Amino acid sequence: MFLFVRCEDDSYGWETKHVVRMPFSTSRLKSDGSSEAEFVKCCLMKLTVPQKSIELVTTVIDSYQDERYQYDSLHTLFNKKMSPEQRAYNLEIVIPNIAKLALRLSDLITKPIPRLRSSVSGSVTFSQEQVACLMANAFLCTFPPPSFPLYRGRAYMNFSLMFKKGKPCKMEKLKCFLHYFDSVTKNMPNGLISVRRNCKREFVDFSTLDIPLCDLHVETDVKIEDTDDKMLEIDFANKNIGGGVLNSGCVQEEIRFTTSPELIISMLVCERMNDNEAISIVGAQRFCDYKGYGDSFQYVERKNSTPVKRDRFNRILSEVVGMDATRFTNDVTKQLEEESIRREITKAYVGFDHLDSLNRPIATGNWGCGIFKGDRQLKSLIQLIAASAQKRRALYYCTFGDEEFTRNLKGIYEILSTKNVSVGTLYNLIIGYKTHHLSDKSGPKIFDYVESSLR
């Protein structure tokens, strides 16, 4: 964890391969040898006073960039989507407060921030104030451009793509972020946030596991994120954690990161996930609600004033685990191959791992379905196997209003429970489905196949 003392290494390990390059590093220089960091600070000072227009704000941001950015979404939000009162408040109060917060970077971040590298388990802990400061710098696009190979395999945290022209949901996401900054600059939370990378190297032979299936609860109307501190929430993640949250993306992962912006800090420190890895973020606070999905996404003010619960490390009792599914867009039958099934079970097994002693139930859903073309029936059984192998006490499966799938999943689970089917038996059943499916492509769904195989 970082301490609140003056940084002894003002370069923040600029030339070190496995740390984050910071905006105010003394080693960040212009081509003429002068300090780029000090120039950025001077520019930010101009934003610490009330602003007359969003165009003046973006002119300042452009002044410390190598090339001019496009701001269509940001400009449209301020000039056409906000009331005069909202526009004045954001320009005169929120933007100056974001700039003031960004300028506190050297006081709040006191040592180089390590990267959580691929294939290496590790963690890093921030205060919520440190995260807010880093987020403020991302919003004002002060992070230096990616320098390959130093940044290979890692997302770029600046908001520049967020500001560009795009779908209306971009402006709704910007409303969420502005609300976040308004909230934390008025009343800074004092908790901690941990980002953990979990890498499993040992081989697990799921086919031989004589472990009973865990409890399965199927929820039609409950959203994964509405389970709050009661469960381990699964993020249907991109290999690069956060996915398109800072661009046009607006599906499950991006929405979760938008309503809890502190999750975005994982994008700063985490490299791309391998097949045997998952990323956990503990302690991120939810700042707003929403309605809609994808293009219909809209910001909704959060009315819930229930006090947040914290653990002994002063982290909010929320844990979001990012695990990326395989894309089967080009060949949906490939997901039936044992190699693909093993990959998905292994990924879920790592994501469902016990990184604390709480053994919370898991809240998940149609992971890797949608545009990735994953089969919902197969994915539900894959996650049931993984949760049971980890000896989780329960799996809560959210079907997002699909009553037919809810009935079918409840039905097959009742059969599996009645027959006392083990993890190994269920694994071998779904592996055997491929042969049947390829011989009769119009044949039964996997639930029907499993049921008939158990008769």
The annotated binding site is made up of: 238, 252, 293
Catalytic residue among 36, 233, 254, 319: 254
Long-range contacts of the stretch 299-304 (C-beta < 8 A, 24+): 299/172, 299/173, 299/175, 299/176, 299/179, 301/179
User: 309, 230 in Cβ contact below 8 A?
Assistant: no
Whether 301 is catalytic is no
Cα separation, 455 vs 450, whole angstroms: 9
- DSSP 3-state helix, strand, coil percentages of the chain (rounded to 5)? 45, 15, 45
Instruction: Reduce the DSSP state of residue 224 to 3 states and report it.
Output: helix
Binding residues for substrate: 238, 252, 293
Dump the DSSP string for 95-130.
HHHHHHHHTTHHHH--SPPBPB-TT--EEEEEEHHH
Alpha helices in 260-313 (DSSP H): 265-269
Three-state DSSP at 441 gives coil
Catalytic-labelled residue, pool 129, 225, 233, 253 = 253
Query: DSSP code of 23?
Result: T
Q: Of the residues 235, 271, 277, 344, which is catalytic?
A: 235
From residue 217, alpha-carbon distances to 25, 345, 396, 427 in Å are: 50, 19, 5, 20
Distance CA 41, CA 10 (A): 14
CA–CA distance, 380 with 377 (Å, rounded to integer): 5
CA distance readout (Å), 428 to 336, 351, 417, 425: 12, 22, 16, 5
In this structure, what DSSP letter does residue 316 have?
B
DSSP secondary structure code for residue 192 in this structure: E
Length of the chain as a residue count: 455
Tokens of 83: 């009331």
The answer to whether 311 is a known catalytic residue is: no
Could you give the CA distance from residue 59 to residue 65 in angstroms, rounded to a whole number? 10
Q: How far apart are CA 237 and CA 198, in angstroms?
A: 14
> Catalytic: 215?
no
CA distance linking residue 318 with residue 284, whole number of Å: 6
CB-CB neighbours of 122 under 10 Å: 15
Catalytically active residues, by annotation: 235, 253-254
